[in-house]
Amino acid sequence: MTVPIIDVHNLTKSYGAVQALRGVSFSVDEGEVFGLLGPNGAGKTSTVEILEGLRPPDGGLVSVCGLDPQTSGNAFKQEIGAVLQSTALPDKIRVNEALTMFASFYTRHRETDGLLKRFGLEEKRNAFYSQLSGGQKQRLALAMSLVNEPRVLFLDEPTAGLDPQVRREIYDIIEELKHEKKTILLTTHYIEEAERLCDRVAIVDQGRVIAYGTPRDLKQRAAGTSRIELRLARPEPEEALRGLEGVADCRATDGLYLMHSTRVPQTIVSLVKYLEAQGNELAGLEIAAPSLEDVFLELTGRRLRD
């Protein structure tokens, strides 16, 4: 039995009338990449920033590296590294200056040249922050979060708003950190990100953890439902398809129908019958194993992203 490096128990937080967290609990083991997956407004940033000591919780117990983020002050800050949801630095600070300055704040710190090299910022070392691209800024934020060799790394939506190629670059970096057995708490609203990077995932929605486990376990929990994607020769109303046997839900986007079914064979049979009766035809059909998206859909009746 190992003691979890992050332990969150029944965390609550409100902003005025908005209840952002309604009793969030989970724990993260050392060396694990843990994901908080949920749609915008689910409470991911609130959770992470309470763990970073940036926001006070209203209630619940929080421990990071055995310390209370609210009361442990600098001893706590020495142990953690973080990429905030949006990092801001002065426009006229040079890449190298920012990194060296932050490194100097910690008693234990890495050599900054190595970090610049590793994050592909060597040629940009003398560039102003304002001259960097979005991807470069994010790599600098990652480099800055590692200057103190943190025991725990918090990454709040590290790839949000980046284009796919840059996103893959960041994935590679995070996978590398994962191989080094770094403990990472990552938040995301991208399914692929959670499935690809995380050892365990907590799915959060409206301030609650609604599912919790390894991506594989979670998907098996949703094994009862499979995803059916189909294209039709002529459009059909969603409600009609939703009424077919075994169908849990159905949504149409740009001529693509996405259905979830608990009994695939029956669904297919009744679909074919229905289309025949309408004089319509199938233009394409795909049946896929469930993803975390489907888990979310099954649990909430909503899609993660719209």
Partner 1 sequence: MRHSWTLTKVRMRLALRNRAFLFFSLVFPLVFLFLFLGLFTRGNVSAVPYMLASVLALTIMGSFWGLSMQLVTFREQGILRRFRIAPVGAGAMLASSIASNYLLTLPTVFIEFTLARHLFHMREWGNLWGVFILVTLGIITFASLGLIVASVTNTAQETQVINQLLWSAFLFLSGATLPLPMLPGWIQSFALFMPATYLVVGLERVLIAHVGAYAIRAELLSLAVCAAIAFAVSQQLFRWEPESKVPRSAKLWAASAIIPFVLLGIWETSYGHVRSTATTDFMSTVQQAAPRTRGRLRMMPESDAPPSTAPPDADSSDAPK
Ligand X SMILES: Nc1ncnc2c1ncn2[C@@H]1O[C@H](COP(=O)(O)OP(=O)(O)O)[C@@H](O)[C@H]1O
State yes or no: residue 127 binds partner 1 (CB under 8 A). Answer: no
Residue 218 carries which side chain, given as an amino acid letter? L
Stretch that binds ligand X, among 43-51, 161-169, 252-260, 280-288 (CB under 6 A): 43-51
How far apart are the C-alpha atoms of 170 and 274, rounded to whole Å? 46
Residue 18 CB neighbour total at 10 angstroms: 11
Out of Mg ion, partner 1, ligand X, none, which partner does residue 82 contact, by CB within 5 to 8 A per kind?
Answer: partner 1
Residue 212 CB neighbour total at 10 angstroms: 15
Give Rg (Cα) of the chain.
23
Q: Are 36 and 44 in contact (CB under 8 A)?
A: yes
State yes or no: residue 44 binds ligand X (CB under 6 A). Answer: yes
Out of ligand X, partner 1, Mg ion, none, which partner does residue 43 contact, by CB within 5 to 8 A per kind?
Answer: ligand X
Phi/psi for 149 (5° steps) reads 45, 60
Among 45, 145, 148, 225, binds ligand X (CB under 6 A): 45
Q: Which is nearer to partner 1, 11 or 103 (CB)?
A: 103
Q: Which is nearer to partner 1, 148 or 225 (CB)?
A: 148
Q: Which is nearer to ligand X, 41 or 135 (CB)?
A: 41
Stretch that binds ligand X, among 3-11, 38-46, 111-119, 167-175 (CB under 6 A): 38-46
How far apart are the C-alpha atoms of 177 and 189, rounded to whole Å? 20
Q: Closest distance between partner 1 and the C-beta of residue 145, in Å?
A: 8
Q: Closest distance between ligand X and the C-beta of residue 158, in Å?
A: 13
Residue 32 carries which side chain, given as an amino acid letter? E
How far apart are the C-alpha atoms of 170 and 119, rounded to whole Å? 10
Residue 136 carries which side chain, given as an amino acid letter? Q
Q: How many residues bind to Mg ion according to rule CB under 5 A?
A: 3
Q: Which is nearer to ligand X, 15 or 105 (CB)?
A: 15
Among 37, 64, 82, 241, binds partner 1 (CB under 8 A): 82
Distances (CA, A) of 80 to 48, 67, 140, 141, 153: 12, 11, 17, 14, 6
State yes or no: residue 267 binds Mg ion (CB under 5 A). Answer: no
Among 18, 240, 272, 288, binds ligand X (CB under 6 A): 18
- Contacts (Cβ under 8 Å, ≥6 apart) of 275: 232, 236, 281, 282
How far apart are the C-alpha atoms of 171 and 273, rounded to whole Å? 45
Q: Closest distance between ligand X and the C-beta of residue 190, in Å?
A: 13
Q: Are 144 and 84 in contact (CB under 8 A)?
A: no
Q: If you ran DSSP here, which 8-state letter would residue 120 be given?
A: T
Among 35, 46, 57, 184, binds ligand X (CB under 6 A): 46
Among 52, 157, 236, 294, binds partner 1 (CB under 8 A): 52
Helix orientation angle between 95-104 and 134-145, rounded to the nearest 10 degrees: 20
Q: Which is nearer to ligand X, 52 or 236 (CB)?
A: 52
State yes or no: residue 42 binds ligand X (CB under 6 A). Answer: yes
Segment 130-159, which members bind partner 1 (CB under 8 A)?
144
Stretch that binds ligand X, among 23-31, 41-49, 63-71, 103-111 (CB under 6 A): 41-49
Q: Closest distance between Mg ion and the C-beta of residue 7, in Å?
A: 21
Residues 90-109, one symbol each (x = binds partner 1 by CB under 8 A, - = not), give x-xx---x---xx-xxx---
Task: From 195, 259, 192, 270, select the one nearest 227 (Cα to Cα).
Answer: 259
